[in-house]
């Protein structure tokens, strides 16, 4: 049985991929320190198949994984940001089946002002076609649909299942390098020297590129693949960067917005004592306002010739 299990549950957009890549690349050297990053339920860089098994109706599949984990020793690290969206019954199953001397839940919380935009970017990369302002309006009027806008609900599930004292929360904005922080502050490897976190960060795209990807998505194509892998698709990138410049708009976001104020207040009231790097102020997040840049969709109507060329390219790929 492990002496300790560290469950790194996210959340999304807090450097989870960078942490996972570092753990994977150092898997053998970590073993020498008694720290195991097992390949049980493993996919890509983290334990995403474990989450799938946990959420599936096939209870035996996850039970088998749990038995393998329980047979390990030392410190076992399990990491997937998808744990943060698990329903209560899945979290309770995890708590019931995992056995260790102690279990620690590690959760990084990003400033909520940034989360809607960052989550929209992530969804666009995976095929979403929503216009940013529509996505924003839907998220703020129905925040219950976005798990990232409900950190208290996420943490309550894990606290109820494992006990509040098992949960450690870190404010992402106060950490300069999440990889170094995780290895040193969570795993206790003070001498660990990590690669710069920027090496691992998922590729980001500028405002104009994101709008082109979204437009391709709306036309029924995989926009990300087109700008990455299709030479003709990539040719549109430089042109949209130049043509869209006059159509760049700014969306100001701050804590005067009631939903954001409520999220921060609820998290502060319920979970302040488990936040490990808070400075003691009444506000959790130091940055109180952000400006989000986006391409006004009117661009596609105003720059008709460019739009016509893009649609012609789409049609050449067999999409009507």
Domain residue limits, the chain: 4-111+147-199, 207-316
* Residue 195, pLDDT above cutoff 70: no
- Of 114, 137, 310, the C-alpha closest to 211 is 310
* Residue 320, pLDDT above cutoff 60: no
Our measurement of the distance from residue 130's CA atom to the centroid of its chain's CA atoms, rounded to an integer in Å, reads 19
pLDDT digits (tens, 9 = 90+) for 88-120: 999 999 999 999 999 999 999 999 999 999 999
* Residue 177, pLDDT above cutoff 70: yes
Mean pLDDT of 173-180: 92
What pLDDT was estimated at residue 1?
96
Confidence (pTM): 0.92
- C-alpha distances out from residue 41 to 45, 61, 183, 243, 288, Å: 11, 10, 22, 46, 39
Our measurement of the distance from residue 144's CA atom to the centroid of its chain's CA atoms, rounded to an integer in Å, reads 17
* Residue 263, pLDDT above cutoff 90: yes
Q: Distance (Å, rounded) from C-alpha 202 to C-alpha 122?
A: 10
User: Mean pLDDT lowest for which of 78-92, 140-154, 191-205, 260-274?
Assistant: 191-205
Q: Distance (Å, rounded) from C-alpha 265 to C-alpha 183?
A: 30
- Of 87, 104, 97, 107, the C-alpha closest to 16 is 107
Block residue for tokens 């976001």: 253
For residues 144 and 133, which has the higher predicted lDDT (pLDDT)? 133
What pLDDT was estimated at residue 202?
55
For residues 73 and 132, the answer to whether their CB atoms sit within 8 Å is no
3-class secondary-structure state, position 284 = coil
Q: Distance (Å, rounded) from C-alpha 204 to C-alpha 211?
A: 13
Q: Distance (Å, rounded) from C-alpha 155 to C-alpha 167?
A: 8
What pLDDT was estimated at residue 232?
87
* Residue 163, pLDDT above cutoff 80: yes
What pLDDT was estimated at residue 281?
87
Q: DSSP of 99-134, one letter per residue?
A: --SEEEEEEEE--HHHHHHHHHHHHHHTT----HHH
What pLDDT was estimated at residue 279?
87
Interior/surface letters 102-135, b for 16+ CB within 10 angstroms, e for the rest = ebbbbbbbbbbbbbbbbbbbeebbebbebbbeeb
Mean pLDDT of 39-57: 95
- Of 231, 303, 209, the C-alpha closest to 311 is 303
For residues 99 and 70, the answer to whether their CB atoms sit within 8 Å is yes
CATH of 4-111+147-199 among 3.40.50.261, 3.40.30.10, 2.60.410.10, 3.40.50.300: 3.40.50.300
User: Does the N-terminal peptide bond of residue 200 adopt cis geometry, omega within 30 degrees of 0?
Assistant: no
């Amino acid at each position: 049985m492990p002496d300790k299990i560290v469950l790194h549950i996210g959340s999304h957009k807090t450097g989870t991929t960078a942490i996972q890549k570092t753990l994977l690349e150092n898997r053998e050297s970590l073993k020498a320190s008694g720290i195991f990053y097992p390949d049980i339920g493993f996919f890509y860089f983290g334990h995403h198949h474990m989450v799938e098994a946990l959420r599936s109706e096939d209870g035996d599949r996850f039970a088998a994984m749990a038995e393998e984990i329980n047979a390990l020793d030392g410190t076992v690290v399990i990491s997937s940001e998808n744990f943060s969206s698990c329903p209560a019954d899945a979290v309770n199953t995890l708590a019931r089946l995992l056995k260790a001397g102690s279990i620690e839940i590690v959760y990084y919380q990003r400033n909520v002002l940034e989360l809607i935009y960052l989550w929209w970017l992530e969804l666009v990369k995976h095929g979403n076609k929503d216009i940013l302002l529509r996505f924003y309006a839907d998220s703020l009027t129905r925040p219950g649909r976005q798990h990232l806008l409900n950190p208290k609900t996420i943490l309550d599930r894990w606290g109820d299942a494992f006990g509040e004292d098992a949960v450690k929360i870190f404010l992402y904005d106060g950490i300069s390098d999440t990889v170094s922080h995780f290895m040193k502050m969570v795993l206790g490897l003070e001498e660990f020297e990590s690669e710069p976190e920027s090496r691992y960060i998922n590729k980001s795209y500028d405002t104009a590129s994101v709008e082109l990807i979204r437009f391709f998505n709306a036309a029924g194509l995989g926009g990300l693949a087109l700008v990455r892998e299709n030479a003709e698709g990539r040719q549109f990138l430089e042109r949209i960067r130049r043509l869209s410049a006059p159509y760049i708009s700014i969306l100001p976001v701050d804590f005067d917005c009631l939903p954001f104020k409520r999220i921060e207040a609820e998290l502060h009231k319920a979970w302040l004592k488990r936040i490990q790097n808070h400075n003691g102020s009444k506000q959790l997040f130091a940055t109180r306002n952000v400006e989000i840049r986006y391409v006004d969709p009117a661009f596609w109507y105003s720059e008709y010739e460019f739009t016509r060329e893009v649609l012609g390219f789409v049609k050449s790929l067999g999409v009507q």
